[in-house]
Structures are given as structure tokens and as C-alpha cells.
Amino acid sequence: MVDWFANDKLFLRELRDGHAWQMLPTVFFALHGLEVVVPSLAVRRDVSERRAWRSSVDIRVGGWAIEVKSRRERFTSPDDYPYPTAYVDTVSGYESKPRPPLAYVLVSRPTGGMLALSVARTRGLWTVRESRDRARGITDSFYAVPKRCLVSLDALVEVLKSQ
């Protein structure tokens, strides 16, 4: 297996796919009257530059950083999320951020369903799990959160409007 950090072809494919999926919550938030900014896309020239993207965010809603994670699992609501826990982010990815995002949005690739979790409200419940990332062909440490912490995107909209 090719090393993930040196596999530019795979990195660019995953980046392209991820950016396509981040547009779904972007449109959702905008349709709910929230100001949404999608930072301009910049792509590393070489693997040695990867640390320069530590402070990048997927979208900003009302000035708040929101991370978007697309998943290959099928779900439409917190009730039908298929596992007892949900992966939030890799430990290294989360810990490298200078400031934690306000929330994560999980998008189901098969259904387009979107769920959210508040970092501040759930951080104390996160656990670390070793897991195989089939897309990248690596085993990594991930933060996981109990399924009960997932909420609808409508609930996140209410939080954002109250900020």
C-alpha cells in the first residue's frame, strides 16, 4: 500500500470529493438565512506542505468554523445512524487545529442526509478508537462520539442563529 501522506493522486481525489460534499451543508445553511463563507480552495504542491493547512476550515457559518465530513454510511436522521458511535475526526487532524471548530457536520454520501454534533457540548464524551480507513488504506486513531450526541442540521441552525 502506498503511504497516504505521499500519495498525491489519492489525496487530490479525496480532497475533490470532500469539497463536493461540503457544498450540501453550505447551501442548507444559506437557505436558512445564515451567512456562509467557503474559504478559497488551495491545494498543496508537495506533501511537505501539509502542515500549512492545519488552520484551514471547511466552511464558516456566521463566522464560526464548521468541519464537514462525508461518510459512505447510509443515514437520514440521528435515529437511523447505523452505528452506536460516530467518528468525528482523526486525533491528529483535530489536535493540529489551532482552535476547535464549533461543530462537525456528517454527510451521508448515499442519502445526502446531514447530522451535526457540537464540539463544546460533546467533547467530554469523545473516546479514541483505532480504526482502518478503507479509502486511504491506513489505520489511524479517531475520536468517536456516542450516537446520542448527533442532532439534525435544523438543531445546529438554531444554535448558530442564537450565537
Say how many domains are in the chain: 1
CA 44-49-96 angle, 5° bins: 110
Reading the block at residue 80, the C-alpha cell is 437511523
Average of per-residue pLDDT across 96-118? 95
- Range of the structural domain that residue 31 is part of: 4-162
Read off the pTM.
0.84
The β-bridge partners of 145 are 86
CATH classification of the domain holding 96: 3.40.1350.10
Q: What is the pLDDT of residue 136?
A: 61
pLDDT tens column, 50-100: 555 556 788 999 999 999 999 999 999 999 999 999 999 989 889 988 899
Q: Is the pLDDT of residue 15 over 90?
A: no
User: Is 71:109 a contact under the CB 8 Å cutoff?
Assistant: yes
% of the chain with per-residue pLDDT over 90: 63
Model confidence at 25, in pLDDT bands (50, 70, 90)?
very high
Residue type, 104: Y
